[in-house]
């Protein structure tokens, strides 16, 4: 019987803000895919057409393909300016078409001043609008479980995904459950029918970020379950280890929330440590594809 193939991608802006250096690092590590997020110190979503074309040329020259667009969609209050956010989403889809990448990572908003019932209704309403926009242009939306947004727990994530009946996919980050001090072991069994791909990070019991396999994200058990369930399939694992503070992290998370137990000489060393640990776990369960 065929084994599951794990192929690695990366948020290479954790290694270096400079896009050229990101591509060089991926080549050195042997990681064939990139989840695009930060380019030369700014979000890819604000790039001009000419800058996007340059990104595409550099990707082709480096032999690196995009696995997804790591967008900021959904990281606003549910009482915020949704029309402006939809305009941003349209621009992100323009960029996706230019770079031939139709998978978009997204989030599901912060509650702001809304109570629980109103917040859930708003989340479902807004995501439905985004899904309609995405489906009209042939894009797939993948929701990431993230601290403080709707869907930060396995149970709430299931409520969100099941509401849309498979229209909305998941990018499962078991490390985010651990970071939120929740039981990460529940994540894959509850959500497996909706998962498109995975993010790889880990945290210990008090939420401190640690290298993959050193915490309580149950990464090894999750990869083994994936290997059992998806034999003959190719599964993307995007490295997002957060082992060091990097340029742009403050726009992704509250820095006072992030604690580190391990120290590294450089962002590259931190990322390499995380990648080698994750790759070893993946090779225990299936095969890795370059």
Which has the higher per-residue pLDDT, 289 or 217?
A: 217
Average pLDDT over residues 134-159: 96
Q: What is the pLDDT of residues 79-124, one digit of tens each?
A: 999 999 999 999 999 999 999 999 999 999 999 999 999 999 999 9
Specify the pLDDT at position 248.
59
Rounded distance, CA 150 to CA 115, Å? 12
Specify the pLDDT at position 257.
73
Residue 44 CA: distances (Å) to CA of 14, 17, 41, 191, 232: 14, 12, 9, 29, 33
> Residue 187: which residues within 8 A CB-CB, separation 6 or more?
145, 154, 157, 172, 174, 177, 218, 222
Given a cut of 80, whether residue 14 has pLDDT beyond it is: yes
Given a cut of 70, whether residue 253 has pLDDT beyond it is: no
Specify the pLDDT at position 94.
98
Burial category of 117 from C-beta neighbours within 10 Å (exposed 0-12, middle 13-18, buried 19 and up): exposed
Given a cut of 60, whether residue 228 has pLDDT beyond it is: yes
Answer yes or no: are the C-beta atoms of 220 and 271 closer than 8 Å: no
**How many CB atoms within 10 Å of residue 115?**
8
Specify the pLDDT at position 284.
94
Q: What is the pLDDT of residues 67-79, one digit of tens each?
A: 999 999 999 999 9
pLDDT-based confidence at residue 247 (cuts at 50, 70, 90): low
Given a cut of 90, whether residue 275 has pLDDT beyond it is: yes
| Positions of E strands within 63-172 | 65-70, 103-106, 140-144, 169-172
Specify the pLDDT at position 251.
55
Lowest mean pLDDT among 130-134, 149-153, 166-170: 149-153
Residue-range domains of the chain with CATH:
5-289 (3.20.20.150)
| Positions of E strands within 26-94 | 33-36, 38-39, 42-43, 65-70
Specify the pLDDT at position 256.
60
Average pLDDT over residues 5-31: 98
- Backbone region of residue 289 per phi and psi (left: phi > 0; alpha: psi in -120 to 50; beta: other values): beta
Given a cut of 80, whether residue 268 has pLDDT beyond it is: yes
Residue 5 CA: distances (Å) to CA of 26, 59, 88, 155: 19, 23, 34, 28
């Amino acid at each position: 019987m065929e084994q599951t193939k794990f192929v690695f991608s990366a948020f290479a802006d954790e290694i270096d803000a400079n896009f050229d250096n990101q591509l060089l690092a991926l080549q050195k590590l042997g990681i064939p895919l990139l989840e695009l997020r930060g380019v030369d110190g700014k979000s890819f979503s604000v790039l001009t057409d000419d800058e996007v074309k340059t990104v595409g040329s550099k990707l082709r020259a480096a032999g690196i393909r995009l696995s997804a667009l790591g967008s900021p969609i959904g990281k606003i209050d549910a009482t915020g300016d949704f029309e402006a956010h939809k305009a941003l989403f349209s621009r992100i889809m323009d960029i996706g078409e230019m770079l031939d990448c139709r998978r978009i990572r997204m989030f599901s908003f912060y509650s702001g001043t809304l109570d629980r019932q109103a917040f859930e209704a708003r989340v479902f309403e807004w995501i439905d609008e985004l899904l309609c926009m995405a489906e009209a242009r042939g894009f797939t939306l993948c929701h990431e479980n993230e601290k403080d947004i709707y869907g930060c727990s396995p149970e709430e994530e299931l409520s969100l995904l099941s509401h849309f009946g498979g229209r909305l996919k998941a990018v499962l980050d078991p490390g985010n459950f651990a970071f939120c001090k929740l039981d990460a072991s529940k994540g894959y069994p509850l959500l497996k029918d909706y998962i498109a791909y995975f993010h790889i990070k880990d945290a210990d019991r008090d939420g401190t970020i640690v290298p993959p396999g050193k915490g309580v994200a149950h990464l090894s058990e999750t990869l083994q379950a994936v290997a059992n369930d998806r034999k003959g399939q190719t599964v993307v694992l995007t490295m997002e280890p957060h082992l060091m503070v990097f340029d742009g992290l403050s726009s992704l998370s509250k820095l006072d929330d992030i604690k580190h137990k391990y120290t590294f000489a450089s962002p590259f060393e931190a990322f390499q440590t995380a990648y080698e640990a994750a790759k070893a776990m993946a090779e225990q369960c299936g095969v890795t594809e370059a």
